[in-house]
Amino acid sequence: MRQSNLWVLMILLLGVGGCSVQKSQEQMKQDLLDTDRAFAAYSEEHGAAEAFRHFLAPEAMELSPRSEPVYGRENIYQEMLKAGGEYVLVWEPQDGDVAASGDLGWTWGRYTFTVKDSDDIEHVNYGKYLNIWKRLADGNWRVVVDMGNQSPVPKADS
C-alpha cells in the first residue's frame, strides 16, 4: 500500500472512530435520562422515600432548601420517612449530559410535590432539581448529589 493511501485510510478510520465515540456519548446521555425517568416512575409507584433509597449511591448527599446537607443514602431515606405525611413526588427530566469518561453525569428537570393536609385538601408545590449521577462498577447509574428548589406555578399555555 502506498504511503498516501495509508494516511487516507488512517484518517478515515479516525473519523469513523470519532463518530462512534460521539454516538456512544449521545447513547450514554439517553441511558442516563432514561434512568432518571425510571427513578421518577419508581417514585410514583413505590413512594419517594423508597425510590431515593433505590436510586441513590451509598455515599449520596442531599441538599434541600432551608436545611443542612444530609449525607448517606440510609440517612436520606430515614429523613424522608420522618417527614411523613401523604405526599406524591413526580418529576420529569428536561436535559442532562455525561462526561466523556462515561462515569459521571447530571440531569435537571421539573417536579411537582403534592401533599394532603389534615382536611384532605391537596396542595401542590412546583420546583426544579439538579442531580449529579455516578456510574457504579456494576454499570448502573446512581445519584450522588440531589438538590432542588421551588418554582413559581407554571403559566398556562395560551
The domain limits of the chain are 28-151
CATH, range 28-151: 3.10.450.50
pTM score: 0.80
Q: Give the model's pLDDT for residue 23.
A: 56
Whole-number pLDDT of residue 136: 95
Cα–Cα distance, 38 to 58 (Å, whole number): 19
Q: How far apart are CA 26 and CA 39, in angstroms?
A: 20
Model pLDDT, residue 157: 63
pLDDT, one tens digit for every residue, the chain (158 residues): 555 554 444 444 444 444 444 558 899 999 999 999 999 999 999 999 999 999 999 999 999 888 899 999 999 999 999 877 678 999 999 999 999 999 999 999 999 999 887 788 888 999 999 999 999 999 999 999 999 998 888 887 65
Contacts of 1 (CB under 8 A, 6+ apart): 9
